[in-house]
């Protein structure tokens, strides 16, 4: 309903020229821009190539954040000495806006792919870590004590109780991490870049090409919704004991 009203208002506003085209291009114009970008590209690169570059940066960063953040978060909540080492670093980085240290990443890693991926990685790491850490902290200690009394060692308790019990929160943290990293894409591509959908949006804004801007924003928006839907579907299939209400 909301989308229908929004699209209807958009059509009325553009057809009656209530809003200048440079500020709000028509849906027909944006559709044609999509076609043109796929045919002739932007900045010498076709739209699907820009899109692939952006998604590659995002997924590589998320992959490293998952591989590092989940074990660190779970172990930090389970082992005190690991928590004492890791938690202060994460808590220090978490409130800092990514752009605040992006210039340092460029200084250390250069203007290539490494600095962009690292920026997205550091944006995605804290949400995953914190969700995993909190998940372990919320586990009823009686479960752990009961398992220990039956002869289970810490290794068995971790993989048979702690990890399965934390899975719902792990997926919640993953969705949050993807959202945070996704909102950082434009920031990652706005400095010292010449490719990617985020760069395309920023560059076209310099020349008031609002149709290109809207095309990029809509593309990112649709992709973000699809990624979140896929993560929810994965959670429902893997963590099926959560119940139908959450699926």
pLDDT at 243: 58
pLDDT tens sequence across 80-96: 999 999 999 999 988 88
pTM of the model: 0.88
pLDDT tens sequence across 115-131: 999 999 999 999 999 99
Q: Please give the share of the chain, as a percent, with pLDDT higher than 90.
A: 49
Alpha helix positions (H), 96-209? 98-109, 113-137, 141-149, 154-157, 163-190, 197-206
CB 133 within 8 A of CB 73: yes
pLDDT tens sequence across 67-81: 999 999 999 998 899
Supply the Cα-derived Rg of the chain in whole angstroms. 22
CB 105 within 8 A of CB 118: yes
Distance CA 127, CA 182 (A): 13
Distance CA 18, CA 111 (A): 42
The per-residue pLDDT of the chain, averaged, comes to: 88
pLDDT tens sequence across 146-168: 888 888 888 888 888 888 889 99
Structure tokens at 22: 């440079």
CB 143 within 8 A of CB 90: no
Distance CA 194, CA 206 (A): 14
Burial of 7 per CB tally in 10 Å (0-12, 13-18, 19+) = exposed
51 CB-side CA count, 13 A:
17
Distance CA 198, CA 190 (A): 7
Report how far Cα 233 is from the mean position of its chain's Cα atoms. Answer: 16
Beta bridge partners of 59: none
């Amino acid at each position: 309903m909301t989308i229908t009203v929004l699209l209807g208002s958009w059509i009325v506003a553009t057809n009656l020229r209530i809003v200048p085209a440079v500020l709000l291009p028509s849906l027909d114009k944006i559709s044609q821009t999509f076609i043109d970008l796929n045919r002739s590209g932007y900045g010498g690169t076709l739209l699907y190539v820009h899109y692939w570059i952006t998604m590659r940066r995002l997924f590589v960063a998320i992959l490293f954040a998952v591989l590092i953040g989940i074990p660190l978060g779970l172990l930090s909540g389970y082992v005190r000495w690991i928590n004492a080492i890791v938690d202060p670093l994460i808590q220090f980085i978490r409130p800092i806006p990514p752009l605040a240290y992006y210039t340092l990443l460029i200084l250390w890693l250069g203007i290539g792919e490494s600095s962009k991926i690292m920026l997205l990685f550091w944006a995605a790491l804290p949400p995953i870590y914190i969700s995993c850490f909190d998940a372990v902290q919320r586990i009823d200690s009686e479960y752990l004590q009961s398992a220990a009394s039956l002869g289970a060692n810490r290794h068995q308790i971790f993989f048979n109780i702690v990890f399965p019990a934390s899975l719902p929160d792990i997926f919640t943290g993953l969705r949050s991490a993807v959202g945070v990293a996704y909102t950082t894409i434009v920031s990652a591509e706005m400095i010292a870049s010449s490719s990617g959908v985020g760069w395309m949006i920023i560059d076209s804004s310099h020349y008031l090409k609002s149709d290109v801007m809207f095309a990029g924003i809509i593309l990112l928006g649709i992709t973000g919704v699809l990624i979140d839907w896929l993560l929810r579907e994965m959670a429902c299939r893997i963590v099926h004991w959560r119940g139908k209400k959450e699926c």
